[in-house]
Chains A and B, each alone.
Chain A
């Protein structure tokens, strides 16, 4: 797996009402196989940053290197999972969606079916290989999306609030599943969320961003053993620390989140 270097990345949006800073002078590095969460309030530029790493947007200045190679557009070294369930192709079955990247790579049909089945087993959807997306629940659709992003074996997995539109119980289940998937595949993951508990549950390290303009405010390493217990004192301490960085008055309330 490969490390990622983000150096001095700045992006400005051109809007009809003038220039709006998206992110400003963002610097941090990500180790190979590290799970990094980016948290921050809406408008802090966390999704913008992810889109720059994905290659959908190009920064005005600064650069991003993945495995030493500068990012200049989207590439197959990165897999992307979006928040919207509609990211799947409705005209393809779960299996057809997962094989798409392999098809583009020119992998022969038999081999790509085998790989796709393997990926669907990883996200526990082996029984739904031939289902069309509209017959799957939101959580299942997001699992297909994860399998699809992993299938062509990118070094880096970029995830933009993939579970934000799910109900709380499904979300917990999905977080456990993602933790397992990460343990098995050891991909480098960059995961954007506004949910502090989610970040503490998943991440090796959390990058806290603050808005106007979007900058990195703090970096917090989460050194808890896995699998993590969201009800443990240490877990809550980590959450409190993140909330402090986000500017919440933690002592005002006993329970957080």
Chain B
């Protein structure tokens, strides 16, 4: 079967699943067992959703949230990628940072929000730092394992052909570890996306998708809460599929290396 046909079919399957879930929800909402204010029907949610898009407020919220995520995520890549590489290349760096990483990684980023609020106040700084915290560890860990799993034969062959440290690094180690690095970025983005919504609920004011949900609770605006959830899910899905999916297709799938990352 052609690649295009396969993609169409997988999209179709996804659409069927989503339609089924929506239908079940709609049946529950209209069953009369629940208060309409708590379980609004899909048309109501859709109406709120389009209204919030039309007046620009939802887009503005999404832009704020995306800005915080991208800022924190990029910071995590800038710090996590070199750190993971250094840890894999130098025993001393590994010896110093590994206990630190192991100790900090299990702490949920959400648990740090109140503390960060006291330290950094309410607003972008706190939310960006929470995102950074959540995204850094998957980045470090995956890069670290990726560099350690670079086939020694590649290093040997490159050495024979006169590669110096610099070329080894850029032309062998980085592409050789790329399946893991891309997986690391994927996981980091997901963790960042989850973290930002939590952080915004407490530590943001006026703007952000997390803040919308938390604020809507005060006015019993469940339709707005659900509309914001749709946006959160939609953007997360788009990034996962479009950005990281096409990054994978352009690199490790093209090179026949994607099995390494999954296995």
Write the residues of chain A forming the contact surface with B, with a CB cutoff of 8 angstroms.
54, 56, 74-76, 78-80, 82, 84, 86-87, 89-91, 100-101, 103-105, 132-135, 148-149, 152
Contact = CB atoms under 8 A, between A and B. Distances in A.
A54 B151 CA distance: 18
B154 A105 contact: no
B161 A101 contact: yes
Contacts of A80: 156-157, 160
Nearest to B154: A89
Nearest to B153: A87
A162 to B, nearest CB: 13
A82 B162 CA distance: 16
Interface of B: 151, 153-154, 156-164, 167, 171-172, 175-176, 178, 251, 254-257
Nearest to B178: A91
Contacts of A133: 256
Contact of B175 (A56, A75, A89): A89
A132 B254 contact: yes
B157 A134 contact: no
B256 A134 contact: yes
B160 A91 contact: no
Contacts of B157: 80, 82, 87, 89, 148
A78 B256 CA distance: 29
A104 B167 contact: yes
Given A82-B157, A84-B153, A86-B153, A91 B162 contact: no
Contacts, number: 67
A100 B158 contact: yes
Contacts of B256: 90, 132-135
Contacts of B153: 82, 84, 86-87
A104 B163 contact: yes
Contact of A87 (B154, B175, B176, B254): B154
B126 to A, nearest CB: 39
10 contacts: A54-B160, A56-B156, A74-B156, A80-B157, A82-B156, A89-B154, A90-B257, A103-B167, A134-B255, A148-B161
Contacts of B162: 75-76, 101, 104-105, 152
B151 A86 contact: yes
B161 A91 contact: no
B202 to A, nearest CB: 43
A90 B254 CA distance: 9
Contacts of A135: 256
The 4 A-B residue pairs with the shortest CB-CB distance, nearest first, are A134-B256, A101-B161, A104-B162, A91-B175
Contact of B255 (A75, A87, A132): A132
Contacts of B163: 100, 104
A64 to B, nearest CB: 15
B160 A74 contact: yes
A10 B162 CA distance: 26
Nearest to B260: A90
A101 B163 CA distance: 8
B42 to A, nearest CB: 46
Nearest to B174: A91
Contacts of A149: 160
A199 B255 CA distance: 35
A135 B256 CA distance: 8
Contacts of A105: 162
Of the listed residues A86, A101, A104, the one surrounded by the most CB atoms of chain B closer than 10 A to its CB is: A104
Contacts of A84: 153
